[in-house]
Chain A
Amino acid sequence: VTYRSLLAVGVVALVPAVAIAKPARAPTSAAVTNDVLDQIAEEMVRDLQNLQLPNAPGPYHISYKITEVEVNDVVASLGSTTTSRPRHFVNLEARVRVGLFKDPMQFDNANYIVPGAEQYDGVASRPLPIEADGRISRRAAWQVTDEAYKEALIQLQAKMDARRSTGLANDLPSWTAEKAVVSEEPVVVPDLEPLEQMEERAKALSAGFRDQPHLRDSRVALTSYLERRWYINSEGTNVTDTRRASGIVIVATSQADDGQELAQYFARYGQTADDLPKNDELAAEIKKLSATLAALQKAPSLEKSYSGPVLFEGEGAVGMVRNSLAPHLGGTPLPEGLNPQQAKQFGGQLTDKLNLRVASRNISIVDDPTASSAAGKALIGGYKLDDEGVASQKVQVVKGGMLEHLLTSRTPSTKGAISNGHARRTTAGGMFHGTATNLIVSATGGTTRQALIGKLLAQAKSEGLKFGIIVRQFDDSAITAAPEFSRRELYTMVQSADIDLPPPASLVYKVYPNGKEELIRGVQLGELQIRVWKDVIGVGKTPLVYNFLAAPESYLANKFGGGTDDGAVPSSGIESAVVTPDLLFKEIDLKPITSGRRPKPAIPSPVGSK
């Protein structure tokens, strides 16, 4: 019996949701032992009882998230390593809530952004030792709790002041009451792939881009990581979980004859490297990327705007789900004071549409963090508990086109609501937002590809169009961003960028009535309203299972400043999966991209030149 288990009163037991049983298991943590957890838990009890400044409320809730991360990242280009980096660190994050009234959950500090000081969010963190040391861990808990408590008080005061001065009343409770959960059994996952082995693999694969002078840059990146986490709170929740993922990202860039930038990528993630494609398949993908870029160099641009049917195939359909549907599924009210630009990243188009039709009648959508595979393929979006310590749950989001549930956290949007275990992504102000995990789109009436193309062409014809459009991939700036811009260009682009647009489509074809496909470039989708999902006029038969890391930053933020600017590997982001069949939408707006053109290099690539 540990000290932590004594905390729990009326707890429910939890069955591990993501059962990963494979050989070569990673050892359990040497840093975060039962002694460390006990010391931190003791500090939590001491602070809950004693931490209080004069004339101010003490904490009514304290939670700690301890994460231990091990990562191996490698990147290679043209047969040589450019990055090889192992990392290991442990972090302790404290969240403290202070409230008014007898039931402080009715009005507390959270979900409010202090104007001009959003760092005051009741959250504080610091590193913990990478080897077990209960004494130092407890001291860290004491310090982060103290810091988070003082921040929470500032946040509470500012929130009260704002309520008084604006007169805005909101009688929703600040937080939901949830049952405590105990699950102390370590989740054992396969060990990381060894760095040296990853490096050799990346080097060998990246050599596949040698001798291709039409390319600018190319790289093969591999990542392997695990994140052990422990969540303890003053309600008695005491759970541990481990997330594990491996991924491969292949990128190549080029320039069209008119100077337009071109980028193509291939990215796959799984629970381990065993879930990733084998080397011969990857070598073929490398050849394909290179050939596609050669074809894109000569391909015509979209000459003028297009409004009409678009078939999203494979990763194109995944991109459509990621960019036009997933951002709107959160049911967490956005924090007061969030700036409208940031708010747009959190969608919001479905907030008032519960029990209304939001998609074609044949479409159903579930979000299932309890699933570890779909159609025989590993999913990486699952977990046992979310970031607020709530057990993961499968949620029926849309059934027969009707919106049944949104994805929620402990910040309620209606009275009496409770979390369905989807607290993952944070907003400014430190609050967790309901977020998609393993998002599974299914549809009745799936047809063959040939029938879908027929439907696309028929619809195009009825609109008076001479061709239909197929989108096979969207750009992902977390993967493809390259440091091609000067400061001045960046400044101009930031000033002129339209943040409402989805990422550009990076692999687009015109399809003509005779069935001939023509690769085109420079295609940008218009702003996507959720209502387009009501007009899905065709679906494929076979779903694609696609894992990815959802970048915490927006497409434009990654494109302009972050992403892979320094050639790093996208090994951070929210583990996510989308499962979807091909989707034919009745009407989508496309427009030509005219930016991103620049002079070609004064001399050709040295690759292949004599």
Chain B
Amino acid sequence: MHHGSRVMAVAVAGAIAAAGCPGGGGTGTGPKLVPDSPTIDQGRDLPEVPVKIVTTASAPMEGNTPAAASPILEAMASENARWMAQLGNEPDPAYYLSYQVVEQRAVGLDAEGGALISDSDETARNLDIDVRVGSPALDNTRALSDDDGLNSPRARRGVFPFGTDPVAIKNHLWLETDRRYREAVQALVYVRQDQQTLSKAKKRPPDFSASEPVVYSEPVAKLEFDKAAWIARLKSCSKKALTGAATRGSCNVVFQLNTVWFVNSEGSRIQQSYTSAQLQVSVGVKTDDGMGLVRLEQRFGATPGDLPSDAEIDKMIKTVTADLKALNEAPLAEPYVGPAILEGRAAGVFFHEVFGHRIEGHRQKDETSGQTFSSYIGKAIAPEWLSVYDDAMLKTLNGIQLNGFYRFDDEGVKAQKVSLIDKGVLVGFDMGRNPIDGFGKSNGHGRKAPGLPAVARQGNLVVEAARTVERADLEAMLIEEVKKQGRPYGMVFTDISGGFTNTSAFAPQAFKVNPVMAYKIYPDGRRELVRGIDIGGTPLIALQSIRAASREIETFNGVCGAESGWVPVSASAPSLLIERLEIEKSFVPPDRPPVLDAPNIRQTVGGAP
């Protein structure tokens, strides 16, 4: 029960955001589930035309402006050195100490049905400390064999003063370092106790990998926007969105200015500063059978100015309102196993959930994890025309800004391009500073939200295909497959809201993703929208079932939540034809729509209600 509830809790959080993300494993050890690898259909008859990808990138050290460095970095480095000079001599010596301070200004404007509901503009600074006690081979972060969660650092905000006054800054660094060091020493006691009871037969990889020191500073960015104009736009947008079947129609923006200072005992001193902007148009209704329907469209940009124009927002409104109306009238779907197309953005989310979370390196190490992919390194897991990489240095792909761009990860390591699947063969993992067998170094994917410890996370996931077909041909291939398999219809998924994947060894190594827009495609080409379904299955079988890809690639931008919090990500993929997907009925709560119709003011004012 413990494992199930933990995974579900994360799944619920995931469903709220655009791209839901998995939880960690459970506790204890257990059997590892490694499915037999069937022969992979290599699709050699597909045209040898690759997907169209044009990218722009920025290397980590680009824009280095040493003169822009804040005196905060100096104060952080000085206090870090003062501590390390002593902590190396303690009975429980510390061998690594890092400070990360994030200053985040978040502007939130939210309108509902034409009225402004919230207007906030808050700035906070958060201090996170990573102190390692013991040695890189075995330190305080080693997971316990029967992990009850009590050995992990407590997630909380570390108070850090505004301004640059070294007295105030150093005192708070001192206070928090003392707390975190004490916590780490205590954790190491339990790690050592645990190690005494473990079998020595299995050699375990170390807990920490060193990295080259980085010294980089970029000027502090500016967040510029016309607040009054945005309020007017959001009010107008939400008024238009609250129409037809919708009982809720809202439009909101979140603008952020993040400045991050990072200092560690390896000698790194990094100042990064960037803005981000997000627009969301969302409508909702409860169907007659009690199912809560939400349809949302999000857009991301590096600045508020990158967000859509009024005309584009109108298109977003039209899309969500038309989809909501159609969904509200759509029948509930039945369980199904058969061929399906995942359209571009849906395929991106699918890859992010089903594959991406599995290749986050630390999951291959956790004793309680199924470690599904670790034994497949160097082996074919997908058709040879398919390659996948994760490149946080990418700024745009086919003209679309990518949400997963960064220069340095949250552990002070330079962003890198990481090849994950090369011509169908599994070749790599996204790595933070937590090594696994065969992958001893970070490749710049240690990421986190403020207040949480970093783990390996995705950045910009890109699915490439060396052989592709036109989109229309993909649908023809689907219908052909439907006939071949003797199914009454095939499925097309155009939007997936998120999902979760279980990586614990105690449960089936299954994933579940939640499609929002799912269509039955009949052999005669007729389309029928259905609702109330989930896609389930196991990751390796799903990857091996990919039969074809389209020429056009689409990008999903979003934020992903997992054990190290919410981080911005993107996933780009062509549309994919899957030979066999398993569709399950989703849970429909025993609820009902409002008893009375929505109030109509004009009918009641001054008259009988």
A: residues with CB less than 8 A from B are 39, 42-43, 45-47, 49-53, 76-85, 87-89, 127-131, 133-136, 138-139, 141-143, 146, 149-150, 210, 216-217, 483-491, 565-567, 598-599, 601-603, 605-607
Question: Which one of B149, B156, B165, B592 lies within 8 Å of A565 (CB-CB)?
Answer: B156
* B interface, over-half SS: mixed
Q: Which residue of A lies closest to B89 (CB)?
A: A602
Could you tell me if B165 and A136 are in contact, using CB atoms closer than 8 angstroms?
A: no
Which chain B residues border A46 with CB–CB below 8 Å?
596, 599, 604, 609
The complex places the Cα of A599 from the Cα of B187 at a distance, in Å, of 15
Q: Quick one: which of B86, B163, B168 contacts A602, CB cutoff 8 A?
A: B86
The stretch from B118-126, B480-488, B501-509, B558-566 touching chain A is: B118-126
A42 in contact with B156 (CB, 8 Å): no
Give the contacts of B129-178 with A (CB-CB under 8 A). Answer: 149-154, 156-157, 159-163, 165, 167-175, 178
Q: A39-B601, A77-B161, A82-B159 are in contact. Are A603 and B175 (CB under 8 A)?
A: no
A607 touches B601 (CB 8 A): no
Q: Determine if B175 and A216 form an interchain contact, defined as CB atoms under 8 angstroms apart.
A: yes
Chain A residue with the shortest CB-CB distance to B189:
A488
Q: Which chain B residues in 61-102 approach chain A with CB under 8 Å?
A: 79, 82-83, 86-87, 90
Quick one: which of A78, A146, A487 contacts B594, CB cutoff 8 A? A146
Q: Which residues of A contact B171 (CB under 8 A)?
A: 77-78, 605-607
B181 at the interface (CB under 8 A from A): yes
Q: Chain B contacts of A51 at CB under 8 A?
A: 595-596
- Residue among A135, A141, A486, A598 having the largest count of chain B Cβ atoms under 10 Å: A486
Q: Report whether B182 and A486 are in contact in the complex, using a CB–CB cutoff of 8 Å.
A: yes
- A566's partner among B87, B156, B167 (CB-CB below 8 A) is B156
B609 touches A136 (CB 8 A): no
Most buried by B among A47, A82, A484: A82
Contacts A51-B595, A80-B165, A149-B595; is A605 near B117 (CB within 8 Å)? Answer: no
Asked if B150 and A487 make an inter-chain contact with CB atoms under 8 angstroms apart, the answer reads yes
Are A146 and B599 interface neighbours, CB within 8 A?
no
Q: Would you call B172 and A605 a contact (CB within 8 A)?
A: no
Q: Residue A130 contacts which of B114, B116, B183, B594 (CB distance < 8 angstroms)?
A: B116
Is B198 interfacial (CB-CB < 8 Å)? no
Q: How far is the CA of A547 from the CA of B514 in the complex (A)?
A: 52
Q: Which residues of B contact A142 (CB under 8 A)?
A: 594, 596, 598-599
CA distance A567 to B182 in the complex (A): 20
- A43 interface neighbour in B79, B178, B247, B599, Cβ under 8 Å: B599
Q: How far is the CB of A158 from chain B (nearest CB, A)?
A: 15
Taking a contact as CB atoms under 8 Å apart, the answer to whether A42 and B605 are in contact is yes
Q: Are A88 and B174 in contact (CB under 8 A)?
A: no
Which one, B114, B119, B183, B594, contacts A136 given CB within 8 A? B114
Given known contacts A42-B609, A146-B596, A566 and B157 CB-to-CB distance under 8 angstroms = yes
Count how many pairs of residues, one from A and one from B, have CB atoms less than 8 Å apart in the complex: 158
Query: Given that A52-B595, A80-B162, A81-B161 are known contacts, is A486 also in contact with B186, CB under 8 Å in the complex?
Result: yes
Q: How far is the CA of A602 from the CA of B85 in the complex (A)?
A: 11
CB distance from A36 to the nearest CB of B (A): 10
> Are A602 and B596 in contact, CB atoms less than 8 angstroms apart?
no
Instruction: Tell me if B179 counts as interface (CB < 8 A to partner A).
Output: yes
B536 within 8 Å of A by Cβ? no
How far is it, in angstroms, between the C-alpha of A268 and the C-alpha of B244 when the chains are bound?
53
Find chain A residues with CB under 8 A from B599 CB. 42-43, 46, 138-139, 141-142
Jot down 19 A-B pairs with beta carbons below 8 A, ordered by A: A42-B605, A51-B596, A77-B168, A78-B161, A80-B169, A81-B162, A82-B125, A136-B115, A139-B113, A141-B599, A142-B594, A142-B596, A483-B156, A486-B186, A486-B187, A487-B153, A489-B186, A601-B174, A606-B173
Residue from B154, B165, B175, B598 in contact with A139 in the complex, judged by beta carbons closer than 8 Å: B598
Bound CA–CA A606/B78 (angstroms)? 10
State how many angstroms separate the Cβ of A422 from the closest Cβ of chain B.
Answer: 33
Residues on B with beta carbons closer than 8 Å to the beta carbon of A82: 125, 159-162
B112 within 8 A of partner (CB): yes
- The 7 A-B residue pairs with the shortest CB-CB distance, nearest first, are A80-B161, A129-B115, A133-B115, A80-B168, A78-B168, A606-B170, A567-B159
